[in-house]
Amino acid sequence: MVRSYKSFFLLISFFSFVSLSLYGQDQKKADSLLLIYNENTLTGKDKLELLRDLSFNEAADLDASIKYAEELIVLAQEENDPYYIMHGYMQKGHALRIKGEFDKALNAMFKSAEVAIQGKLTDSEGSTYLTIADVYSEMGNSVNAEAYYDKAILILRATTDSLALATALLNSGDEYFNTKKYVQALKNYEESGEIFKQLDYPSGNAYNLGNIGMVYAAQGNAKLAKENINKAISILEDLEDYYAISEYLIYMSDIFIDQNDFENALSYAKRSLDLAEKYGMKKQMGESNLQLSEVYEAIGNIPLSFDHYKKHVSIHDDIINLDNIKKMANERTNFEVSQRDIKIDLLNAQKRNQLIIVFATGLALLLIAVLAIGLFRRNKFIQKTKKIIETEKNRSEQLLLNILPDETAQELKLNGKVKARKFDSVSVLFTDFKGFTKYAEKLAPEELVETVDYYFSKFDEIMDKYALEKIKTIGDSYMSTGGLHPPEEDHAQRMIMAAFDILKFVEDSKKPNAFNQTPLDIRIGINTGPVVAGVVGFKKYAYDIWGDAVNIASRMESNGDLNKINISEFTYELVKDIFDCEYRGEIEVKNRGLLKMYFVNGLKNNTSYSEEQNTLVEMKT
């Protein structure tokens, strides 16, 4: 359960109208504006300004906010007013971002920037770059985020829009916080805080307090962290800014976890989930469920931890794995169509036989001939149908074996369900490519899938070679285990040999090759320990593992070096007599404290690998 915390971005328009420049979103104002909207008496710029105010202040119903923004775009285009066209795309992008639809949000915001440039709206151009940077930041693309923040700040410093400048400084500080540049983050927060105080801007003050609190938390000052974040939540509750409140509540929960105050940690996490579910904030629902999973795991309630983790995975899949879901749906549809075709063919055959019987009443000799032909054709059809059914059955079983281990698949077919099992010693491997997000943005969808398939197909072959089990892939991350099926004792050694094969393949891929793949660098982390394994879902089966050993393996990957194998102390104790390991010292790991880590440099001189027996052997001298 690995999560990087995100702070918040001001949901404001940043522009020069008095009604918006000194105040944040106001749901009560939106409700009163709706009464005017329903009267349908305004026209021209009055109607445009009403739609802009409605779209901005509508915080409780994001779909309504998008509807008002789209109506604003259409009306502004009819009036040929670039200022309000730009605002329409901007507000639409804001609402889509909060809903977690980042691609659509970026599309709307880039259109807003294009209109601002064409209309020579310098203030608006700077603010649009700011919102684009916000979306990139929330997507985890720090490179693009920092570039657009710098661009926005440079433009806004040359304007009189101090509110937009303060917002850019605040959100830029947030990005520095996420990349652990705390000194620069505090510097930006302090400058933005002074501007918000001068403007008497409550939303800005709230975000500034909350973000400073998060810096204190990251630096280990829990007292100041809680003080600042609680002040921020108090202000945001008055403003009904539930997205920001939900995120800050998660961060408060994390602070209490670090203090082993699980009662408060659980309370804050539940409040965050309640808000996210009430207002349909999908991304926050996923984050809140993940937080609850970690709290319940910390207090030893594994069933509830597992339940919330399943919900987190389900929401996560809805957001980033839509293409995979669509593909599986298409496969299911194709199978159902093939079954219907078989039924139709059988019905047609029955109709033909009935027609033969009708004509046979007057033609005895012809009856014998036609009946013989009909029986022959029917027999061939039945044989063909049986073959089709058998082929489909074999294909279904093969698909099941591709999703689940053989032992688990047999249990599922026999009992209709799979019992969760605990394994005392399992080796877990995580891999991750450096800079893959930036690289992926430059590729067409087909090329992106081809690149991922190029690497992960080879990783699958390597896992098969060493009798290891692939668990899943998440984006450009690959996860596998050893010691599950069957639970052999040398799984740690085989996992490290597989990791060396992965490193060699990635290095060989940097050379000119027929696939023309762009060379990538990789981090690999391995940990050994107890896990719980089981099957999630009943329509879309997913075999997965849970436990502290999985979390530590992920930390080994994230704290490793490029093109190196980073292992934990637990794995080192199992392989130290076979592999040459380099002690790295004790390294600070989030929520885990100091952990000993080792780089694996290769086999010791008296050890070799036998491919015939798939095992490591000691060389006799």
Q: How many CB atoms lie within 10 A of CB 421?
A: 15
Counting Cα atoms < 13 Å in the Cβ hemisphere of 448 gives: 13
Q: What is the DSSP letter of 361?
A: T
User: Furthest-apart CA pair in the chain: how many Å?
Assistant: 106
* Residue 73, CA distances (Å) to 33, 44, 111, 289 in order: 18, 13, 11, 36
Q: What is the pLDDT of residue 359?
A: 67
Q: What is the pLDDT of residue 8?
A: 37
399 plus 423 within the same structural domain: no
Report the distance separating Cα 76 and Cα 348, nearest Å: 60
Q: What is the pLDDT of residue 335?
A: 40
pLDDT band at residue 196 under the 50/70/90 scheme? confident
Q: Are 557 and 430 in contact (CB under 8 A)?
A: yes
Q: What is the DSSP letter of 41?
A: -
* Residue 454, CA distances (Å) to 73, 402, 459, 510, 516 in order: 43, 18, 9, 13, 10
pLDDT digits (tens, 9 = 90+) for 347-369: 565 666 666 666 666 677 777 76
**Of the ranges 183-187, 344-348, 368-372, the best mean pLDDT one:** 183-187
339 plus 427 within the same structural domain: no
Q: Which residue has the higher pLDDT, 184 or 375?
A: 184
- Average of pLDDT values for 505-510? 89
pLDDT digits (tens, 9 = 90+) for 377-428: 776 666 776 677 666 656 655 555 555 666 665 666 666 566 778 889 999 9
The yes-or-no verdict on residue 461 having pLDDT over 90 is: yes
Q: What is the DSSP letter of 547?
A: S
- Average of pLDDT values for 236-263? 85
Lowest-confidence segment of 3-17, 155-169, 216-230, 521-535 by average pLDDT: 3-17
376 plus 486 within the same structural domain: no
Amino acid at 372: A
Look at residue 561 and tell me if it is in a domain. yes
Of 357, 374, 403, the one marking the end of a domain is: 403
Look at residue 491 and tell me if it is in a domain. yes
Query: What residue has token string 């089990």?
Result: 469
The yes-or-no verdict on residue 183 having pLDDT over 70 is: yes
pLDDT band at residue 115 under the 50/70/90 scheme? very high
- Average of pLDDT values for 186-194? 88
Report the distance separating Cα 371 and Cα 358, nearest Å: 12
pLDDT band at residue 202 under the 50/70/90 scheme? confident
* DSSP structure string for 553-618: HHHHHHTS-TT-EEEEHHHHHHHTTTEEEEEEEEEEETTTEEEEEEEEEEE-TTEEEETTTTEEEE
Provide the angle, in degrees to the nearest 10, between the axes of the packed helices 222-239 and 202-218: 160
Percent of the chain with pLDDT over 90: 25
**Of the ranges 168-182, 252-266, 564-578, the best mean pLDDT one:** 564-578
Structural domain range at position 99: 1-168
Query: What residue has token string 């690998």?
Result: 609
430 plus 396 within the same structural domain: no
pLDDT digits (tens, 9 = 90+) for 1-50: 333 333 333 333 333 222 222 334 556 666 777 788 888 888 888 888 88
The yes-or-no verdict on residue 326 having pLDDT over 70 is: no
CA quadruple 101, 107, 113, 119: dihedral, nearest 10: -130
Look at residue 408 and tell me if it is in a domain. no
pLDDT band at residue 242 under the 50/70/90 scheme? confident
Residue 1: strand, helix, or coil: coil
Pairing of strands 421-433, 477-482: antiparallel
Phi, psi of 485 (to 5 degrees): -140, 100
Q: What is the pLDDT of residue 440?
A: 80
Q: What is the pLDDT of residue 80?
A: 92
Of 130, 153, 168, the one marking the end of a domain is: 168
Look at residue 148 and tell me if it is in a domain. yes
Q: Which residue has the higher pLDDT, 373 or 48?
A: 48
394 plus 498 within the same structural domain: no
Collect all residues with Cβ–Cβ distance below 8 Å to 266 and sequence separation of at least 6. 253, 292, 295, 296, 299
Q: What is the DSSP letter of 519?
A: P
Can you give the CATH number for the domain in which 80 is found? 1.25.40.10
- Average of pLDDT values for 267-273? 89
Q: Given phi > 0 = left and psi -120 to 50 = alpha, else beta, which region is 597?
A: beta
pLDDT band at residue 481 under the 50/70/90 scheme? very high
Closest CA to 545 of 455, 448, 447, 428: 428
Amino acid at 281: M
pLDDT band at residue 54 under the 50/70/90 scheme? confident
Overall number of domains in the chain: 3
Sign (positive or negative) of CA dihedral 326, 327, 330, 332? negative
Q: What is the pLDDT of residue 210?
A: 85
Q: What is the pLDDT of residue 6?
A: 36
337 plus 445 within the same structural domain: no
Report the distance separating Cα 262 and Cα 266, nearest Å: 6
Strand runs labelled E in 483-578: 522-536, 542-546, 565-568
Residue 432: strand, helix, or coil: strand
Of 335, 370, 403, the one marking the end of a domain is: 403
CA 325 to chain centre: 14
Pairing of strands 593-603, 565-568: antiparallel
Q: What is the pLDDT of residue 241?
A: 81
Residue 143: strand, helix, or coil: helix
* Residue 499, CA distances (Å) to 467, 504, 520, 521 in order: 13, 9, 16, 14
502 plus 567 within the same structural domain: yes
Q: Are 581 and 567 in contact (CB under 8 A)?
A: yes
449 plus 336 within the same structural domain: no
Q: Dig out the tokens for 472 from the structure.
A: 């899943």
Residue 438: strand, helix, or coil: helix
361 plus 396 within the same structural domain: yes
45 plus 149 within the same structural domain: yes
Look at residue 287 and tell me if it is in a domain. no
388 plus 436 within the same structural domain: no
Closest CA to 12 of 196, 252, 278, 233: 196
Instruction: Name the average pLDDT for the chain.
Output: 80
**H/E run at residue 478:** strand 477-482
Closest CA to 25 of 214, 201, 247, 272: 201
Can you give the CATH number for the domain in which 424 is found? 3.30.70.1230
Look at residue 613 and tell me if it is in a domain. yes
Sign (positive or negative) of CA dihedral 261, 267, 271, 272? positive
612 plus 464 within the same structural domain: yes
Phi, psi of 400 (to 5 degrees): -65, -40
> What's the per-residue H, E or C state across 187-238?
HHHHHHHHHHHHHCCHHHHHHHHHHHHHHHHHCCCHHHHHHHHHHHHHHHHH
Its pTM stands at 0.40
Look at residue 380 and tell me if it is in a domain. yes
Taking 3-state DSSP, the helix, strand and coil percentages for the chain, each rounded to the nearest 5, stand at: 65, 15, 20
Look at residue 238 and tell me if it is in a domain. no
Collect all residues with Cβ–Cβ distance below 8 Å to 438 and sequence separation of at least 6. 141, 143, 144
CA quadruple 121, 123, 128, 130: dihedral, nearest 10: 160
Q: Are 411 and 534 in contact (CB under 8 A)?
A: no
**Of the ranges 99-103, 262-266, 575-579, the best mean pLDDT one:** 575-579
